[in-house]
Amino acid sequence: MSGAGFSRQAYHAWTRSPVSQRDRQDAYLTNAAIDAHADDPEFGYRLVADELRAAGHHASDNRVWRLCRDQRIFSAHARKQGLNRRPGPPVHDDLLKHPGGGRDFTAPAANTVWLTDITEHPTAEGKLYLCAIKDPWSNRIVGYSIDSRMTSQLAVDALRHAVASRGPARTIVHSDRGSQFRSRKYVTTLHQAGLTGSMGRVGACGDNAAMESFFALPQKNVLNRRRWATRHQLRLAIVTWIEATYHRRRRQARLGRLTPIPSTPPHTRPDTTQPRVPTKLWQSRGELSRVRIAGCYEGSGVGGWRYRRARMRKSISAAHHKFLAGPVVRAAPRVSPGHGAAAPPGFVLVSRAVTRIPAPAADDDARNGTFAPARGEWLDRMGHVRTAVRQEMVSRQLDRHLAATPQSILDVGAGQGTQSIRLARSGHHVVAVEPDGEMRGAFTAALAAEPSAVRDRVTLADGVLGRLDAVVQRRRFDAVLLLGVLMYVPASEPVIAELAAHVAPGGFLAVAARTATSALWRPAARQDWQAAAAAFAEYEAAGAEHRDMRYVNEIGSPARADTVEGLVAQADAAGLELERWYGVRIAVDMAELDPAPPTEPAEWEALLDVEERLGAMDPYRQLAQLAHLILRRPSP
């Protein structure tokens, strides 16, 4: 024994208890540390220690550092090459500069100082640019915009997103001297929002060091982790990292080891003078796995323990070290609209925000002919069976043509938001344009009852046809919707042309229009023979193409009906091709009165199934009161 270097007593003590209590505790802590690091490999030992304490383990930072060192648990990140830029002259003074030198990147209260900058990263399709705005009070990203071009519009969209979400007043917005922040459009938007600009010196990245420090996090944790095939993949990874990891999981020392969003209300700051109580940010690890981003380790199982006298090591399976080939980000499951399904927690898609412009004057609608009068009476009718069938059929038909991945959608004449909210539940980002205050009020009330993830995907704006550029500028969308509005405009040609300009290549315009053929037989179904005869006279007077005709609808408002052939010709002139058209609401319109609502779910599903089959079949769709056209812009 003595030759082995230890005494007989030490040997027998070791045989009675080969693994000490300290070793056993280290083993449990190591196991928990590996699991925490597997969820977010960019976590260093400090963040791992925060996760362990939040889970109820007691361990100092030094102890966690030792265990991470032994198991080689390090923060995974990649280096980034430098950039060479030549900034221009400033348009604002440096308001964060101290008289004695240096910069103060702290804020005494929320929305007093914002920091902004732009970063870029390449993909196989080209570069993708991110402009973010950070509030140093809570370190929250209050607004951001992602685009394939680094123009002034990128900075303007991020600023408008921040203004819409925070409602600031006299906030200092500090940036570098990039041309985007010196542009006339950006400076004008800054002044219109009541904000004050600030700029650093030429070529001094330290003058905006707090924002540069933030951009180092997504670069190391997301952007530089792998090669990106498409901009869409990278966009999803960036948004998921900001909303799910940075805002809700990455604790920060200056916030009292709390996170920017879940740990504190948006306009308050944590009290660091009081003892910190760990908070559980997620209900379960499985809940977090729904928003796992690229670079996170795959698999949750671990190998067995190998007992050592001084230390216990863990053998990790090969699957635990395998990096994901692409971002495993899942949107809310596509469900039948109306079932109230919400998106998984943590999954938020944000796109370029839309500015809220002043509500149109009372005579705007009359001048533009955008919407019919008697809106109050029409609002009261929205709960009838015919309206419910129309909404359900249009929703099902849209689902056939929308991609499974989240899309950007413009809904013009959104009304109470039935379609907009349903699309947001499915993970799409919707810009809803509605000029009527009563309808917007109903929309806002319905949206308030949705989960925050759904609310964040919807932007409600005031605007009228003919002036959409004032709301969405020249932005293009994957889908543009005009449902139930076209019959109330004086002429359809300028409307189709205006909306087609906002359809991205490969996207489509969905138009629901009153059909001229239904305007013929509907009066006859009511046994109003004089009205039917007048409708035929109007139809014949419209000419050979029969593009549209005038009539008076059920609530006594003047309206207009179109033919499918006429709308297809107008779309063709605007560069859109007919992909398919459906008839909407056929069987229920055959009844003289609004049918009684089905009392059994099976009966309701049977009604919808019949309507869906009739709407896709000739000659029945020719008799539909509404035609739903999908007009696609060809891909280049």
Which helix (DSSP H) or strand (DSSP E) does residue 393 occupy? helix 385-401
127/104: higher pLDDT: 127
d(CA 212, CA 370): 47
Answer whether residue 254 is part of any domain.
no
Does residue 314 belong to any structural domain of this protein? Answer: yes
Of 589, 613, 545, 199, residue with least CA distance to 385: 589
- pLDDT tens digits along 319-333: 223 222 233 333 333
Cite the beta strand spans of 212-341 per DSSP E.
Answer: 305-306, 313-314
Instruction: Identify the residue whose tokens are 């990106």.
Output: 228
pLDDT at 71: 83
CA distances from 5 to 1, 407, 590, 594 (A): 7, 70, 99, 96
pLDDT in tens, 583-619: 988 887 776 555 666 777 888 888 888 888 888 888 8
Residues 243, 275: one domain?
no
Query: Which residues have a Cβ under 8 Å from the Cβ of 479 and sit 6 or more positions away?
Result: 398, 401, 402, 407, 408, 409, 410, 503, 507, 508, 509, 510
283 and 238 within one domain = no
- Domain shared by 60 and 164, yes or no: no
Distance between CA atoms of 325 and 322, rounded to whole angstroms?
9
- The reported pLDDT for the residue numbered 56 is 83
- 585 three-class SS: coil
Residue 513, classed as helix, strand or coil, is strand
CATH number of the domain that residue 451 is part of: 3.40.50.150
Looking at the structure, do residues 422 and 274 belong to the same domain, yes or no? no
593: in domain = yes
The residue to which tokens 């300009």 are assigned: 501
- Whether residues 69 and 191 share a domain: the answer is no
Is-contact 130 219, C-beta < 8 A?
no
Assigned domain for 531 exists = no
131 — pLDDT class (breaks 50, 70, 90) = very high
d(CA 427, CA 409): 11
Q: Is the pLDDT of residue 409 over 90?
A: yes
Local confidence band at 223 (pLDDT 50, 70, 90 cut-offs): confident
Q: Considering the entire predicted model, what is its pTM?
A: 0.42
Residues 227, 273, single domain; the answer is no
Report the share of the chain in percent with pLDDT over 90.
15
CA 388, 393, 396, 398 torsion-angle sign: negative
Residue 538 binned pLDDT confidence (cut-offs 50, 70, 90):
low
* Whether residue 127 sits in one domain with residue 184: yes
Give per-residue pLDDT as tens, 427-451. Answer: 999 999 998 888 888 899 999 999 9
- Let me know if residue 280 belongs to a domain: yes
Which of 283, 298, 321 is the C-terminal boundary of a domain?
Answer: 321
Residue pLDDT, tens place only, 72-86: 887 766 555 555 555
Beta bridge partners of 302: none
Q: How many CA atoms lie within 13 A of 399 on its CB side?
A: 19
Q: Same domain for 565 and 612?
A: yes
Which of 215, 247, 279 is the C-terminal boundary of a domain?
A: 247
Which two tokens mark 403? Answer: 């991609």
**How many helical (H) and strand (E) elements, i.e. helices and strands, does the chain have?**
22, 16
Based on C-alpha coordinates, what's the Rg of the chain? 30
Task: Identify whether residues 188 and 68 lie together within a single domain.
Answer: no
Question: 26 pLDDT exceeds 90?
Answer: no
Task: Yes or no: say if 255 and 139 are a contact pair by the CB < 8 Å rule.
Answer: yes
Interatomic CA distance for residues 34 and 29, integer angstroms:
9
Domain-located, residue 97:
no
Same domain, 489 and 576: yes
> What pairing do the DSSP bridges indicate for beta strands 172-175 and 196-199?
parallel
User: pLDDT at residue 352 above 60?
Assistant: no
**One domain for residues 154 and 271:** no
The mean pLDDT of the chain is 72
Distance CA 413, CA 365 (A): 12
Domain identity same for 614 and 485: yes
User: Looking at the DSSP assignment, which residues form a beta bridge with residue 103?
Assistant: 97
Q: Examine residue 520 and state whether it is found in any structural domain, yes or no.
A: no
Helix axes 437-448, 418-425, angle to 10 degrees: 30
Instruction: Count the domains in the chain.
Output: 3
In the 3-class helix/strand/coil scheme, how is 49-71 assigned residue by residue? HHHHHHCCCCCCHHHHHHHHHHH
CA-based nearest residue to 620, from 515, 483, 482, 509: 515
Pairing of strands 172-175, 113-123: parallel
- Asked if residue 619 has a cis previous peptide bond (ω within 30° of 0), the answer is yes
- Phi, psi of 147, deg, nearest 5: -155, 165
Does some domain include residue 376? yes
**Domain, as residue range, for 388:** 371-514+561-632
Most confident region among 162-171, 388-397, 484-493, 530-539 by mean pLDDT: 388-397
CB 409 within 8 A of CB 481: yes
Sheet holding 626-632, edge to edge: 458-461, 429-433, 408-412, 477-483, 503-514, 626-632, 577-584
**Is a pLDDT exceeding 80 seen at residue 147?**
yes
Q: Dihedral of the CA atoms 414, 419, 421, 425 (nearest 10)?
A: -150
CATH code at position 120:
3.30.420.10
Q: Any bridge partners for residue 122, and if so which?
A: 127
Q: How confident is the model at residue 269 (pLDDT cuts 50, 70, 90)?
A: very low
